Structure 1
């Protein structure tokens, strides 16, 4: 935002009140901040240095419902956060919340009528600047979201038009794209409020890193596209995915469960739909299967990259009936554990015995029991493949059932 005039207004009001004054956007990112007047607190100092929303302070302020305020009010102190009480004036244009003007009120003395009138006059003067800049920001965000939606469209002409506009909308060359899918499990909270928290978390990453990101949020799923001029490494893609996940989840309700799926290879815009499908599968794996949580890459999935595409009834058919009987009769789980480790080790007796801390003679006895009950030979490579696939399908079915 263009905040020069805004800064002048904040400075004049702070001198008038002899108090520290801050203007933030609705997501608690500082737009303008006055000098300190010996009333600063730890939260203000950290926010001025970071220039982005501090997660714990963000959640504290929004717990008072400030997005819906139409009149000034007080946000109580939170000593554990180093946060003194704030007198807060919402700055609105019609029904749209443009910003919040915050005045530190350490002594809880409030403002005199004259001071309150000066603060209200200042906020009214800020509306024009904030409204113009907010409209510009919202237009850029909407353009990026629409661009991503168009790149993922089923229609060839729409995708081609989007590719031709990508560099202009994203503010620079778009030679490579990395696609991510974030899943947000937040019981009862999939509406506009969560969407705003997602917007804020992703914007914080952009501010800190200078990234160029486009995203679309719908019903607990966030599709994210990071564009670059040069192909990033697989490790840098994973690190960026973790940072985005951390940034967004830090602003959400503490009960929210967030997972991230990555297509860990950069792609051309013409192949972005394939990358999107892969990132969605990785996100599903991270959501359902603990071993992939909280960030999974498509290359990590192994056979789950196929199984996650199947309907539940198809998964059930992938489990041999003999395997089901074996596991049902295996009350202590000994044979199931032995079979799983044997298959994972590629049929290696030494590795399986070491993993189970079992003498080879005992292992051979167990394997013989398994073969007898299955009616299959574990020396048969195709039989091992069928059994391994069946165990993985059962693992996914169990995850679905638990959830």
Structure 2
């Protein structure tokens, strides 16, 4: 979306209601304003000159709840700030907050009631403006695509790209950071790679709008990547995950499926980007093959998968003689799943029986069959270590390649 289109939309709205307007982004930066000014105050004049809302004015505006509002919010005059009364219109597109439209009261206007009535008449124009702002952040925007390519190159170890990313205003000095990998769990095998990359870019972009602890997003053919501030909390991560699921489903034309997020460990030096990227990918791969890890998993919580994920190591389950023998015997898939769950549940037969909806006697019978077949106790010593590792290596072998 061209800036000129946004400018013209603001001018048209101002003409409809014959009032001074200004349009802000979510960070308080000036995007557009109406030249038609039946009235003005010191705050508006300074804003148009500096293009940034000063901290004291921002604090006054935020104190009236504009950051969470979904309807127009009257903000009363403040003589100390040189500020007339005004109405803040939160602009939302498809559920995403994309900016604020400010409507100034006239000098002799004591209440915002007239403005609120006028705004109801121009709802279609404001909705169209919100869509423009959403499209303004589109992943098809040339500069955006250039930044994404540079960011992904830095994640893959390009030193020059890493230096460039470190110099970005939205990134420089904002550490410690984390990387997150987002993976859709639906069936995308038949999707064109280029379309898949665009889908992930768009889904990640729209899923993170308005979440300040997400510093940047990018998409690849197989997954999306986020640069996060380490202060991001579980609530925001869950929100990102759910939005990502929705966007992938809506834009990809497929049934919604739970998305997965893998998190790297925190880092304070952006030269660690490649290592963090590897951790985030490994974490989300582990979550994909082992559902007990959950939909949001950090690298340190992946357990033995940390060792299996090392690039130079390729542990094959067939390297275990005990595992190979047991798999050959387990034609009906009754033994290996029970054994793995027993290991994961620390040997609790009661928990495994409840989870699998089996009687405890059935669990003991299957353990007896395993013991007889292998000639060793699968719950003791070296046999347990070997079999548990082989079971996890077997899962890891089925991971999506990212």
* 1:51 alignment partner, one of 82, 91, 98: 91
Q: Is the 8 A contact 2:93 2:131 kept in 1?
A: no
- Report the number of matched residues: 303
Secondary structure of the 1:170 match is coil
Larger proportion of helix: 1
- Unmatched 5+ stretches in structure 1: 26-30, 35-43, 59-83, 92-97, 102-129
Residue 297 of structure 1, CA deviation: 1.9
**In the alignment, is the contact (CA less than 8 A) between 1:261 and 1:283 conserved in 2?**
yes
1:377-388 equivalences under 5 Å are: 377-378=377-378, 380-388=380-388
Say whether the 8 Å CA contact 1:56–1:251 is kept in structure 2. no
Deviation (angstroms), 1:367 = 3.7
Question: What secondary structure does 1:328 align onto?
Answer: coil
Contact 1:147/1:166 (8 A) holds in 2: no
SS in structure 2 opposite 1:51? strand
User: 2:155, 2:397 → 1: CA distance?
Assistant: 30
Secondary structure of 1:253 counterpart: helix
- Match of residue 275 from structure 1: 276
**Aligned counterpart, 1:246:** 242
User: What are the within-5 Å matches in structure 2 for residues 334-373 of structure 1?
Assistant: 335-336=335-336, 338-346=338-346, 348=347, 351-352=348-349, 355-356=352-353, 366-373=366-373
Aligned partner of residue 284 in structure 1, secondary structure:
helix
- Kept in 1, the 8 Å contact 2:317–2:324? The answer is no
Give 1:161 shift.
Answer: 3.0
1:124-153: CA deviations, max 9, x gaps? xxxxxx9xx989x96874575355235324
The CA RMSD measured in Å over matched residues stands at 5.2
* CA distance in structure 1 between the partners assigned to 2:220 and 2:305 by the alignment: 25
Measure, in 2, the Cα distance between the counterparts of 1:329 and 1:252.
Answer: 36
Deviations 1:229-275 (A, max 9, x none): xx53xxx4544432322333333434354322111434432222111
Checking the alignment, whether the CA contact within 8 Å between 2:197 and 2:219 is kept in structure 1 is no
Distance in 1 (alpha carbons) for counterparts of 2:187 and 2:338:
38
Whether the 8 Å contact between 2:96 and 2:210 is mirrored in structure 1 is: no
Identify unmatched segments of 5+ residues in structure 2: 26-30, 35-69, 74-87, 99-121
1:302-321 alignment, distance < 5 Å: 302-307=303-308, 315-318=316-319, 320-321=323-324
Q: 1:267 to 1:397 in 2, by over 3 A?
A: same
Report the equivalent of 2:169: 169
Q: Secondary structure at the match of 2:210?
A: helix
Give 3-state SS (helix, strand or coil) of 2:12's partner. Answer: helix
Question: Which residue of 215, 221, 224 maps to 1:222?
Answer: 224
Trace 1:1-400 onto structure 2 (pairs within 5 A): 9-15=11-17, 45=71, 50-55=90-95, 100=132, 141=144, 144-145=147-148, 148-156=151-159, 158=160, 161-162=163-164, 166-170=166-170, 172-184=172-184, 185=186, 187=188, 188=191, 189-190=195-196, 192=198, 195-205=201-211, 210-211=212-213, 213-227=215-229, 232=231, 236-254=232-250, 255-257=255-257, 258-307=259-308, 315-318=316-319, 320-328=323-331, 333=334, 335-336=335-336, 338-346=338-346, 348=347, 351-352=348-349, 355-356=352-353, 366-378=366-378, 380-396=380-396
Change in CA separation of 1:85 and 1:359 when aligned onto 2, cut-off 3 Å = closer
Q: Structure 1 residues 303 and 134, CA, compared in 2 at 3 Å: closer, same or farther?
A: closer
Over 3 Å counting, the alpha-carbon distance change for 1:249 and 1:53 in structure 2 is: farther
| SS in structure 2 at match of 1:385 | helix
**Which deviations, in whole Å up to 9, do the C-alpha atoms of 1:27-52 show, x marking residues without a partner?**
xxxx7899xxxxxxxxx948986534
The answer (yes or no) to whether the contact 1:260–1:296 under 8 Å persists in 2 is: yes
Distance 2:395 2:301 in 1: 16
Cα displacement string for residues 156-182 of structure 1 (whole angstroms, at most 9, x for unaligned residues):
4x26633xx625532652331110111
Question: Matched residues in 1 for 2:14 and 2:361: separation?
Answer: 86
The normalised TM-score by structure 2 is 0.56
Provide the TM-score with structure 1 as the length reference: 0.56
